[in-house]
Amino acid sequence: MNRKQILISILAAFCMYATAEAQRIKGSDTLLPLTQELAEEYLAEHPDREVIVTGGGTGVGLAALPEKTTDIAMASRRIKFSEKMKFAEINLDAKEVIVAYDALAVVVNPSNPVDSLTREQLEAIFRGKITNWKEVGGEDRKIVVYSRETSSGTYEFFKESVLDNKNYMSSILSMPATGAIIQSVRQTKGAIGYIGLAYLNRYVKALAVSYDSGRHYAYPSVGTAADGTYPIVRPLYYYYDAAREAAVSPFISFALSPAGQESVLRQGFVPVK
Amino acid sequence: MKRFLERAVKWLLTASGFVTSLVILLIIAFLFAEGAGLFSERVIEDGYVLALNRENTVKELSAAEIKAVFDEDVTNWNELGGPDMAIETFRLEDADDYFTEEQLGPQYENAGSLIAALVESRPGMIAFIPESMLPEDPSLNFIKDKTISPGEVLAGSEWFPTATPAPLFGIWPLLAGTLWVSLFAILFALPFGISIAVYMAEVASGRVRNILKPIIELLNGIPSVVYGFFGLIVIVPLLQQVFGLPVGESGLAGSIVLAIMALPTIVTVAEDAMRNCPRSLREASLALGATKWQTISRVVIPASMSGIASGVVLGIGRAIGETMAVLMVTGNAAVVPTSILEPLRTIPATIAAELGEAPAGGAHYQSLFLLGVILFFITFIINLCVEYISSRSKAKYN
């Protein structure tokens, strides 16, 4: 009995030690694999430190920051006004760091002759105002529009950036995963959809996109996303409490270091520098 | 000692029966309580208001009208019974376009009064802002907020659960999609299922049956995700080619996958029912000079109708509640289907795809529970039908 008690208290002490020292990172599922990779490399350099990375979504991470249950919140979108107001209520000064960029590619079936679209055309297609490819210079074929499910951050970002916060049409086909969109676009001649840049492959064709009514078009690539010519790019953020900067800065400066940014590139995201 | 043990076992059995029933009732009560909560939610997102200029006479807007306004499908107030002026929309995200960081203040303490002043100065503006941000006694008009009405939900034909400022919870397309795809699944599965059952129960030799039965039952053991994958990669492109469809993800693909999944249940239960058909009935029929086929069609099948019906219902139950396979092959477009060759969205697929991200306790979350309640009622009605059919045929043959 006595030995058991000692064992438990040692275990408890160990756990408390771990939580006191460990860096807790929580939030976006888009950033999760990248942050895990960064954490592994960081730990290889500093074996005495501890980093715990969990997902749950951007909203979960940003809600955990004022509750002090995470040190860094990962976010695949900018902090919302309402969340900022919540931080302001408890005088929490949240600092924002962009760790990487993620570009969304608009993809069509490889047999489709259309190469480029403007934002206005994309908005009309995804809102159901344009329903035939011949209206945008293609063949006489019905446009089949694929989207992600409403729960996805990609869905929200595309809605915000391309649709200007308007709603998708109700007859849009919503797919549970990026892989399903690629498969469907690959086997459907009139298909159009959107996927993360990292998922682009030879079975689907990416379109050049213009955000200035057709004056400049850009194809999605790490290069065009990094120099700002490709428009459908979202920054991926880390948020942290400015008062605790000293505790989180080693990991964040590692993420922004050349070695960290190299694994950003390896994971299919666009480096910050 | 022995008597005591017997009594203990009896109590244990009684208790387990009651506990199970109680748990089921509690689950149903929970489902209903959560689902009914939707009707006490407000149309406009919680904590927000829609503010209008004083000159604007519009007082009420339905959720569909609010969506049309913010989607810029309606661009003039006179279409909504207001004065003849253009509609300007304002969301918090637009604050950066109108004000600078300095104007808003470091903690955004000035945001509320700035926005209120902006709406006061623009007669056609409608602003979607948090109630807490507004200054006291603003000289603005507000859209009257109502609770979500059952009519809007049950008869509504638009499903936009995450639309802001006002989500739309029209479940009619989901309900129609579920019924439509299940109906066709059962139309495909029924003739195949019954004929396989007849073959195995009456025609096949013992050896063939011993080989066939495990194979059919194997279908039951395949995870539904695997059926979904098979459907997406094989059935969807096939349908696209055969029917020359613009899109292969359709109700038909869903009902074929569901028919394959319902088949083993129908076959197993129907075959058991036919094999349990009283020997005396069969012998009497043959003794009267009926052929084997006449015996099967006029005596064995009618006599085992209750068993066949329950097999069919179990199959329908599986089809209606099936989630993953349908999620992958039907395209999930929330529109009321007009033909089986179009994409559609079912209730279980909607719950599975959306529950994970719906904030707990919110209107979206409760609407998904309401969908669960509706699914429960559908299967409940089907079960009642079966009870009725089997009680009738039992009365006839006993």
- Residues B10-51 pLDDT 10s: 999 999 999 999 999 999 999 999 999 999 888 888 778 898
Tens-place pLDDT, residues B75-89 = 899 888 888 888 989
Answer yes or no: do A143 and A199 share one domain.
yes
Among A188, A192, A203, most B C-beta atoms within 10 A, so best to mutate, is: A188
Answer yes or no: do A117 and A189 share one domain.
yes
A20: pLDDT strictly greater than 70: no
Residue A126, in any domain of the structure: yes
Residue A231, in any domain of the structure: no
Residues B293-305, mean pLDDT to the nearest whole number: 88
A19: pLDDT strictly greater than 70: no
For residue A94, the chain B residue with the least C-alpha distance is B107
Answer yes or no: do A198 and A166 share one domain.
yes
For residue A263, which phi and psi values (nearest 5 degrees)?
A: -75, -25
Q: What pLDDT sits at residue B107?
A: 67
**Average pLDDT of chain B, as a whole number:** 88
Answer yes or no: do A45 and A116 share one domain.
no
Amino acid at B122: R
Q: What pLDDT sits at residue A8?
A: 59
A272: pLDDT strictly greater than 90: no
Answer yes or no: do A24 and A117 share one domain.
no
Tens-place pLDDT, residues B123-145 = 889 998 888 778 877 788 888 88
As for how many domains chain A has, the answer is: 2
A14: pLDDT strictly greater than 70: no
Q: What pLDDT sits at residue A82?
A: 65
Tens-place pLDDT, residues B240-280 = 999 988 888 999 999 999 999 999 989 998 999 898 888 89
Residue A241, in any domain of the structure: yes
For residue A194, which phi and psi values (nearest 5 degrees)?
A: -130, 140
Which residues 76-135 on chain B approach chain A with CB closer than 8 angstroms?
A: 91-93, 95, 107-109, 111, 130, 132-133
**% pLDDT > 90, chain A:** 42
Answer yes or no: do A12 and A66 share one domain.
yes
Answer yes or no: do A142 and A84 share one domain.
no
**Average pLDDT of chain A, as a whole number:** 86
Is the ipTM higher than 0.90? The answer is no
Answer yes or no: do A107 and A56 share one domain.
no
The packing angle between helices B172-198 and B251-275, to 10°, is 40
Answer yes or no: do A62 and A161 share one domain.
no
Answer yes or no: do A221 and A160 share one domain.
yes
Chain B contact for A220 (CB, 8 A cutoff):
no
B137 vs B301, higher pLDDT: B301
Q: Are strands B48-52 and B141-142 parallel, antiparallel or unpaired?
A: antiparallel
Answer yes or no: do A116 and A171 share one domain.
yes
With CA atoms as reference, report the closest residue to B261 among B234, B225, B233, B236: B225
Residues B103-122, mean pLDDT to the nearest whole number: 83
Chain A contact for B233 (CB, 8 A cutoff):
yes
Taking the CA of residue A125 and the nearest CA in chain B, the distance in Å comes to 14
Give the Cβ contact number of residue A228 at 10 Å: 10
Q: What pLDDT sits at residue A5?
A: 66
Answer yes or no: do A86 and A50 share one domain.
yes
Residues A166-173, mean pLDDT to the nearest whole number: 90
Tens-place pLDDT, residues B340-361 = 999 999 999 999 888 766 766 7
Task: Give the pair of three-digit tokens for residue B116.
Answer: 């209120």
- Distance set, CA B210 to CA A191, B200, B201, B216, B256 (Å): 47, 9, 11, 11, 27
Identify the domain containing residue A137 by its residue range.
102-226
Domains of chain B: 48-146 (3.40.190.10), 172-397 (1.10.3720.10)
Out of A166, A176, A190, closest to residue B246 by CB: A190
3-state secondary structure (DSSP) of residue A216 = coil
Residues B197-212, mean pLDDT to the nearest whole number: 90
Q: What pLDDT sits at residue B9?
A: 93
Residues B45-70 as b or e (16 or more Cβ within 10 Å = b): beebbbbbbeebebeebbbbbbbbbb
Task: Give the pair of three-digit tokens for residue B379.
Answer: 């299967």
Confidence of residue B379 (pLDDT cuts 50, 70, 90): confident
Residue A70, in any domain of the structure: yes
